Structure 1
Amino acid sequence: MGKIFVFTLAALLAGSAAVGVASAKAADAAEDVQKLTNDSRVFRIDPSVQVRVVRFHNRYGIDLTGHLYLPGDFSADKKYAALAVCGPFGAVKEQVSGLYAQEMARRGYVALAFDPSFTGESGGSVRDVASPEINTEDFSAAVDFLSVQDCVDQKRIGVIGICGWGGMAINAAAMDTRIKATVASTMYDMTRVTANGYFDSADSADARFEMKKALNAQRTADYKKGGYEPAGGVPDTLPKDAPDFVKDYYAYYKTKRGYHARSVNSNAGWNKTSSLPFVTMPILAYAGEIRSAVLLVHGEKAHSRYFSEDAYKQLTGGNKELFIVPGANHTDLYDQMDKIPFKKISAFFADNLK
């Protein structure tokens, strides 16, 4: 059985072991709520916001680790709207998702920033593997966890996905009717860019065949050696002709601004063969069937802007919105507090998590 815990509010605030359970099943696997030690978050910490280390599991039995952020005026007598936050693709909770979660907690939400399966401090025996299905499931697992907490109103749960996890968040919202509102910030559709290349420049059956042939040859080589070849993260040194967006990634993942020792992008990158399922499993196929609210946020100057613009065209209903941030590039929405439209995001959740 996978691990889960449910805490009482008094135990949470004390940072002690969980002493309350929501069901007999949860009682069988109660875990500790831990204070955050060895803090390695890369963003400026707001001491008014409380944070705890939490652990939960997805339906594949993979243990996930998150940081649960609570408002500074947290009260055991209240039920809060809650948010599950993840991304960017190849980042960890000590980077962008933690910043978003902290800010949303500062604005009155319970917010869970978590490491996806196979990355960071989360479980999975193989490391640095991405999966369109499992990573979508990770969002729903975070909703599972939030929905049984004493401090959360389970009818007011939303998700925030950043970069590649923006696409996963939309996919989760298409599947999980418990998600009442979704924000996708500086979104990538990882299945589209993997299958078609940037701006669909390699969108052909022949191009995909050659890619699949090379990746399957890599599978054979990996199995033979008993390990997985990394694709390489953001380069340690930039070539002179590097595109601007690669320079932007470097400026975040490879400098003091955002480097983290557990981040896939800051280090060796994803396993090469992680790309295979992304070629044939498009994650936005049912985006048009989402009945809950969706806000897409993207930078005006972001190379990735077309992902949000095209995703918005797929969405239906009067509660969908595309918000373009003037002058912002892709990574500005990672950590630039003067660019990330938190006022807009907070108002969106206030309107849709009533």
Structure 2
Amino acid sequence: MFNLRNSLISTAFFCALSLSAGAAEPLSVAQGANVVGSQKVTFINGTIKMAGNLYLPPAYDSSQKYPAIVVAHPWGGVKEQTAGLYAQQLARKGFVTLAFDASHYGESGGEPRDLEAPIDRVQDIRSAVGFLKTLPQVDANRIGSMGVCAGGSYALHESQTDPRVKAVASVGAYDIGDATRTGITGIPVTAKDRQKLLQSTYGQLDKEAAGAPALVQSLLPPLSTINSDSPSFLREATQYYLTPRGAHPNAKNRFVVTSPALHVDYYPLEHMDLVSPRPVLLISGDRAETIKFSQAAYATAKQPKELYVIPGASHFDLYDKPQYVTPAVEKLAEFFGKSL
């Protein structure tokens, strides 16, 4: 039977947060109906009903039109986690922002639940852009997109063929295709590992073709199984997603085990040149295991482009550590302020 935990790529699936002793309290998504003019919204993505949180600037004036930003969440995440945090922070900078649950996740529709299908995630962003264009408070010619971790990679991919997106950014971009094929720093994936993964995945697909239901397993193991010898990605993911620090009841810590079959041949960053002449901003930490993805996107993109590296930050620090999120938000606000 397929067992994600036995795969070397298991710990590369989630992007999470680690806090050191004595660090500042992590930022979180503020709750309440009146937070930055927040409101629950729904929109249609083909046959799927999508759920999102729309955030308005503090000094919102209904007679004005505002630049807007779509914010996509990481694999396995939901809108109430780090994507919602960035959406709220950018709303405070004067933008209308939309954090939404991807199809198959959270309050959005889509079956089977917890399926991570890159093409669906890209279409989710495309539909979110279309939704923003319909809103009376949004300037339809000033829409940008961004995402965190895998959401960042999906946003970069979607923008390549969507001229409605006038500027695109990522925070800790995570190429789920390359990570599945080769791994990340500290967690390599060999050809043998990859073949074992595919054999297990397609073994399950054969069972489903014969009538078996989709197989869903835990994405992260219990906290009790984690120790100092565990890879840092796994330690930090569990510390965020499986504790009150970042846990949310709509993030189920599950995945459809056949999802990796959709990841192996996914190449989201190969055609970043298509975004030009629209601007691209790539944010990473200089200690991030995933910085190679931002570097790869930068290498294939054309001008105008910028790779903004935050000193001292790991990939996971950029989720909600204020000393790293604050400069990231300042840079994003500057970028979208000039580009939209």
Scaled by the length of structure 2, what TM-score is found? 0.85
Q: State the alpha-carbon separation in 1 of the partners of residues 245 and 183 from structure 2.
A: 28
1:270 partner SS: strand
- Aligned position for 2:11: none
Alpha-carbon distance, 1:163 to partner: 0.3
Q: Does 1:254 align with 2:239?
A: no
Deviates more, 1:277-286 or 1:287-296: 277-286
- Aligned position for 1:85: 71
- Aligned position for 2:261: 276
1:92 partner SS: coil
1:42/1:260 contact within 8 Å kept: no
Q: Does 1:331 align with 2:316?
A: yes
The unaligned stretches of length 5 or more in structure 2 are 1-26
Alpha-carbon distance, 1:221 to partner: 2.9
2:180 partner SS: helix
Q: State the alpha-carbon separation in 2 of the partners of residues 240 and 337 from structure 1.
A: 25
Change (3 A) 1:93 1:310: same
Q: Does 1:131 align with 2:117?
A: yes
2:101/2:107 contact within 8 Å kept: yes
2:159/2:168 contact within 8 Å kept: yes
2:71/2:98 contact within 8 Å kept: yes
Q: State the alpha-carbon separation in 1 of the partners of residues 211 and 244 from structure 2.
A: 35
| Letter matched to residue 251 of structure 1 | Q
String of CA shifts for 1:97-119, please: whole Å, max 9, x gaps. Answer: 11111111111100000000110
2:318 partner SS: helix
Q: State the alpha-carbon separation in 1 of the partners of residues 66 and 274 from structure 2.
A: 27
- Aligned position for 1:12: none
String of CA shifts for 1:240-269, please: whole Å, max 9, x gaps. Answer: 4111222221221111110011114xx2x2
Alpha-carbon distance, 1:182 to partner: 0.8
String of CA shifts for 1:61-85, please: whole Å, max 9, x gaps. Answer: 2111000001121111101000001
Q: Does 1:242 align with 2:227?
A: no
- Aligned position for 2:205: 219
Q: State the alpha-carbon separation in 2 of the partners of residues 88 and 213 from structure 1.
A: 26
- Aligned position for 1:4: none
- Aligned position for 1:351: 338
1:245/1:330 contact within 8 Å kept: no
- Aligned position for 2:273: 288
1:49 partner SS: helix
Q: State the alpha-carbon separation in 1 of the partners of residues 291 and 243 from structure 2.
A: 24
RMSD of aligned C-alpha atoms? Answer: 1.9
Q: State the alpha-carbon separation in 1 of the partners of residues 274 and 315 from structure 2.
A: 27
2:49/2:108 contact within 8 Å kept: yes
Q: State the alpha-carbon separation in 2 of the partners of residues 201 and 331 from structure 1.
A: 19
Query: Which has the bigger relative contact order, CA under 8 A and spacing at least 6?
Result: 2
Change (3 A) 1:110 1:303: same
- Aligned position for 1:232: 218
Alpha-carbon distance, 1:350 to partner: 0.6
The unaligned stretches of length 5 or more in structure 1 are 1-40
Alpha-carbon distance, 1:197 to partner: 2.4
| Letter matched to residue 201 of structure 2 | L
Of all paired residues, the percent bearing the same amino acid is 34
String of CA shifts for 1:222-257, please: whole Å, max 9, x gaps. Answer: 455632222422222214411122222122111111
1:175 partner SS: coil
- Aligned position for 1:105: 91
1:234/1:250 contact within 8 Å kept: yes
2:271/2:301 contact within 8 Å kept: no
- Aligned position for 1:24: none
Q: How does 1:196-211 map to 2 (within 5 A)?
A: 196-199=182-185, 201-202=188-189, 204=191, 208-211=194-197
Q: Does 1:55 align with 2:42?
A: yes
Q: State the alpha-carbon separation in 1 of the partners of residues 190 and 153 from structure 2.
A: 19
| Letter matched to residue 178 of structure 1 | R
| Letter matched to residue 295 of structure 2 | E
Q: Does 1:307 align with 2:284?
A: no
1:43/1:258 contact within 8 Å kept: no
Q: State the alpha-carbon separation in 2 of the partners of residues 44 and 76 from structure 1.
A: 23
Q: How does 1:146-161 map to 2 (within 5 A)?
A: 146-161=132-147
Number of positions where the alignment pairs a residue of Structure 1 with one of Structure 2: 307
String of CA shifts for 1:115-160, please: whole Å, max 9, x gaps. Answer: 0011000001310001111110111100000011111111100011
